Structures are given as structure tokens and as C-alpha cells.
Amino acid sequence: MFYQLINFGNEEFHAYPDKSLYWKRLNTLIVSDLHIGKSISYAKNKQFLPPYDTKEILNKIFVSLDKIKPSNLIIVGDLLHDVFSTLSLKDQDHKNLSQYMKNTDFIWIKGNHDENIQIEGFKNLTNYKIDKFLFTHIPIKTSLFQICGHYHPKVKISHRGKTIFKTCFVHNEKIFILPSFGILTGGLDIHSKQISDVLGKNNMSIYPVGQDKVYKL
């Protein structure tokens, strides 16, 4: 799998088409907005989405961990969709997770969806600081470089008479926003007010995610 090289805060990051980000120097894998159990949460409102999202998200994570073998895995919020989500985690899933946690430190940052949820054996933090970098679900006022999630960024690309929407990694000088790692999760245009309020309008570096490759615009 090809990755796209991204320089952010004078550090080398690798963006993968599976929507994970790898921090080379600290051998750390970063993902965001998994929204595990979104389907079960919709089911309580009688919208019966295929109940396979949890299985697929976990598989994706495990494939990535097997390949990269990072020392740390940082989840930048919204690991779970809501309090019902834990219902979709089977015993086997818990066992698998514990297995992976033997070799990799899991750092779970709270998101707006999962700030009040507990999973046995997991600790969740409001945010997490390493060197001059702050991992937080939603960016805050700080002089640190921030790596966040929350917005599920997508970019609208019009080229040669065609328009497409693509999930993307996006950052400005100080703030990096990850795409959603989830399966049934939607997205928000990076030129929407919510995102431009955070990143500003003009200094965005945009990396659309393609089939087997992350592009750079």
C-alpha cells in the first residue's frame, strides 16, 4: 500500500489510503472517528443498516496493526458511535483487542460521541500531549501543533467538466484533521463554514484518498 508523505510541524507523517496516519519518528499509528456500532445505534430508530460495520472497522484496524506494527495506536475520538455501540462488540472482538494491546499501547481520546462511555480495560483521555503535539478530538486554543478528527473532511474536486467528492486528510500550519476511519460514516466539505472556521480558507494542504493511493492537491 502506497502512502503519501506529509510534513506537519517539521515531522514526517505517512497518510495511508485506509485513512490512517503514521508518525514515523515515534512509530505511532493514528486513526479517528471509527464510529463503531453506528448501525446498531440507527437500528434503535428502526433504520436497519447492515450490521457489519463493527466487524469491518476492527478488521481494517487489525490489518493495519499487523502490517505496521506500531508501538502506539492513538484514536483521536469517536471510537464508538454511542452507548449502544458496545452491544456490537462481541466477546471475540474483546479478546482480539486485548491480544493486540500486548504489543501496542492504545491511547483513546474522548470524542463528542463517546466521552461518557466506558469499555473494560480501556482508559480514555480528554487529550494527549507528546512533545509539541496535542492529540484532541476537536481543536482547542493552544500554541501546540494539533492532530484532530471530528469533521470527517471531504473535498469537492471539479476538473475537466467532472465533479467528484473525496474523503481527505487536510491540514494548515498548526492543525491537522484526519478523515473518518469508519465504514458507514458520511463527510463534510472542507470548504464548509465548520471546517474553514478551524483551518482558515486559504492555507489548507489537501490530500484526497483514492482507491489504493493518497493524492496531493
Partner 1 sequence: MNINKSNPLLLHPLNKWMKKKKWSWFPHQIETFHYVRTGSDVVVFAPTGAGKTLTGFINPIDDLIKLKKFKGLHTLYISPLKSLANDIVRNLEKPIKELDLNISFQVRTGDTTPYKKQKQKQKPPNILITTPESLALLNSYENAKEFFHNLKYIIIDEIHTFLDNKRADLLSLNIERLQTFSTNLQRIGLSATLKNKQDAKKWLCRKKPKIVSYENSVLPKIKILESKERIPWSGHMATYSINEIYKEIMKSKLTIIFVNTRAQAEYMFKNLWLINKKKLKIAVHHGSLEKNLRLKVENNLSKGLVDCVVATSSLELGLDYGDVEKIIQVGAPKGINRLLQRVGRSNHNLNIPSKAILVPTNRFEFIEAKAAIEEIKKNKLDKIDLKEGSFDVVAQHIFATACAGQFNINDLYKEIIKAYPYKKLKLNDFKQLINLIQDGGYVLKNYDQFKRIFQLRENKNIYKLVNKRETRKYRMNVGTIIENPMLKIKLGTKTLGNIEEVFIQNLSQGDSFIFAGQVLEFQSMKNNLVQVKRSKSLISKIPSYSGGRMPLSTNLANSVRALLAKSNMWDLYPEQITQWLKRQKNISKIPKKDEYLVEQFPRKKNFYTVIYTFAGWHANQTLGFLLLRGFKEFNYKPLGFVANDYAIVLWSLREAKEIKTILNLGLLDKHLDNYLEETSIVKRLFRDNAIISCLIERRLPGMEKTGKQVLFSSDLIYTVLKKNEPDHILLKSSYEDAKKNMIDYDRLREILKKIDKKIILKKLTSISPLAVPIILEINRENLSKKETDEYILEDLENEILKEANVLSIN
Site string for partner 1, 177-206 (x = CB under 8 A): ------xx-xx-------------------
12 binds partner 1 (CB under 8 A): no
Cα dihedral sign, 105-106-109-115: negative
For the bound state, the minimum distance from the C-beta of residue 130 to partner 1, rounded and expressed in Å, comes to 26
CA atoms of 61 and 115, how far apart (whole Å): 21
For the bound state, the minimum distance from the C-beta of residue 39 to partner 1, rounded and expressed in Å, comes to 7
Q: Which of 10, 25, 46, 66 binds partner 1 (CB under 8 A)?
A: 46
CA atoms of 39 and 54, how far apart (whole Å): 8
Choose between 89 and 130: whose C-beta lies nearer to partner 1: 89
102 binds partner 1 (CB under 8 A): no
Q: Please enumerate, as own/partner, the contacts of 14-18 that have beta carbons within 8 Å and a separation of 24 or more.
A: 15/169, 15/207, 15/209, 15/214, 16/64, 16/214, 17/209, 17/210, 17/211, 17/212, 17/213, 17/214, 18/60, 18/63, 18/64, 18/181
53 binds partner 1 (CB under 8 A): yes
Q: Which of 1, 43, 89, 130 binds partner 1 (CB under 8 A)?
A: 43
63 binds partner 1 (CB under 8 A): no
CA angle centred on 17, ends 124 and 185, rounded to 5° = 55
CA atoms of 17 and 168, how far apart (whole Å): 9
CA atoms of 76 and 171, how far apart (whole Å): 15
Q: Which of 166, 171, 178, 198 binds partner 1 (CB under 8 A)?
A: 166
85 binds partner 1 (CB under 8 A): no
160 binds partner 1 (CB under 8 A): yes
Radius of gyration of the chain, Cα coordinates, nearest whole angstrom: 17
Q: Which of 88, 127, 146, 167 binds partner 1 (CB under 8 A)?
A: 88
210 binds partner 1 (CB under 8 A): yes
Residues that bind partner 1 (CB under 8 A): 2-5, 39-40, 43-44, 46-53, 55-56, 87-88, 156-164, 166, 183-184, 186-187, 208, 210-211, 215-217
